[in-house]
């Protein structure tokens, strides 16, 4: 008899998560009722926001309950259906979490076309990360011809798309990553104008040299040293979409360092900088435009992407811990079961 493997949140982490914060169990295969579908997970998306869901601190979404299945987006195959919208064999994007099989009522489930793009892109460049980049730039960053955009975590799924879309709008794209290898990829493969390793001793000087006309758009994924280096170079009427703060997600205390907040607020006032935090669902109205534009850009090679793949659902906890430390190189995807389209 087929069984269902699940990864649960065993306990809330204090500081950096550990593999002991997760529990892997095997359960009976779920059955479906009228209006439901049974899905088999093919690919599971691992994303930084998952660290926030492991905490019960106030946030924009409910935390994962202790003992509950870890949340996450998936590309899945429909194994059985009692829902008129789906048939057996359909490939869908869902949000069924860290488990091999799941039951869904079909709400929020989207059918993919394997003949158009590889199905893994449904949780990558043609999914939540890609839409985050697209909508954050369209509604907040608004890069223009001749401007300079700086994006941290530039080799990741969001940052890589941000820089390439900015260039399609006529802006210069300067990436920031945590290794020379990632920077080489960002410049040589993705086509960014420059890329800097934030671990370099002279990172601040390198940033100043790469942005001689200042910074018009700073896409915030990381915070910390990168943000501090950016502040002195913000131009008048600059924009800062705040998408993530991955360097701070596991902090338990404020860092014992000089308080940079006054510098930031002075720059915001002087430059009339617009800083806006957002999550992708804030701009759901743009979904159709995103799918149309991004599908074309990917097909034409105008937007490229890289995947970091991990085999086996049992390795998802280790994969998330590595992602939070910057060990991934590209969009992190867990291969849970066989892909019928390859």
Using the predicted structure, report yes or no on whether residue 282 has a pLDDT greater than 60: yes
Tell me which DSSP letter residue 69 carries: B
Contact 74, 44 (CB under 8 A): yes
Using the predicted structure, report yes or no on whether residue 252 has a pLDDT greater than 70: no
Question: Which structural domains are found in the chain, ordered by start?
Answer: 3-123+305-335 (3.90.180.10), 128-281 (3.40.50.720)
pTM here? Answer: 0.91
HSE-CB of 312 using CA atoms within 13 angstroms: 5
pLDDT tens, position by position, 146-196: 999 999 999 999 999 999 999 999 999 999 999 999 999 999 999 999 999
Residues in the chain: 342
pLDDT tens, position by position, 117-146: 999 999 999 999 999 999 999 999 999 999
Burial 8-18 (b: 16+ CB within 10 A, else e): bbbeebeeebe
Using the predicted structure, report yes or no on whether residue 250 has a pLDDT greater than 80: no
pLDDT (0 to 100) of residue 62: 87
Measured at the alpha carbon of residue 275, what is the angle toward residues 273 and 281, in degrees to the nearest 5? 145
Structure tokens at 15: 């500081």
Radius of gyration of the chain (CA): 20
């Amino acid at each position: 008899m087929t069984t269902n493997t699940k990864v649960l949140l065993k306990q809330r982490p204090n500081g950096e998560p550990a593999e002991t914060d997760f529990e892997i169990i095997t359960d009976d295969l779920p059955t479906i009722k009228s209006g439901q579908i049974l899905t088999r997970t093919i690919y599971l998306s691992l994303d930084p926001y998952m660290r926030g869901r492991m905490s019960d601190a106030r946030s924009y979404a409910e935390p994962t309950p202790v003992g509950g299945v870890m949340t996450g987006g998936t590309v899945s195959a429909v194994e059985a259906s009692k829902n008129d919208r789906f048939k057996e064999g359909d490939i869908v994007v869902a949000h069924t979490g860290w488990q091999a099989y799941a039951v869904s009522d079909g709400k929020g489930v989207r059918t993919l076309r394997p003949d158009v793009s590889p199905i893994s892109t449904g949780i990558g460049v043609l999914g939540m990360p890609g839409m985050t980049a697209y909508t954050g730039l369209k509604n907040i960053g608004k890069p223009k011809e001749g401007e300079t955009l700086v994006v941290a975590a530039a080799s990741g799924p969001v940052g890589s798309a941000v820089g390439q879309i900015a260039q399609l709008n006529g802006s210069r794209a300067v990436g920031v990553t945590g290794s020379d290898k990632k920077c080489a990829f960002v410049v040589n493969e993705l086509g960014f104008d420059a890329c800097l390793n934030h671990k370099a001793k002279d990172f601040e000087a390198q940033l100043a040299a790469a942005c001689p006309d200042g910074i018009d758009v700073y896409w915030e994924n990381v915070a910390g040293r990168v943000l501090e280096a950016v502040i002195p170079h913000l131009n008048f009427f600059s924009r800062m979409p705040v998408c993530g703060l991955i360097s701070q997600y596991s902090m338990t205390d404020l860092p014992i360092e000089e308080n940079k907040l006054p510098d930031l607020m002075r720059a915001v006032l002087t430059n009339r900088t617009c800083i806006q935090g957002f999550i992708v669902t804030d701009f759901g109205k743009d979904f159709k435009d995103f799918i149309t534009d991004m599908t074309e850009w990917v097909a034409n090679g105008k937007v490229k992407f890289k995947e970091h793949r991990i085999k086996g659902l049992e390795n998802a906890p280790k994969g998330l811990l590595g992602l939070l430390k910057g060990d991934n190189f590209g969009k992190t995807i867990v291969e849970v079961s066989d892909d019928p389209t390859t």
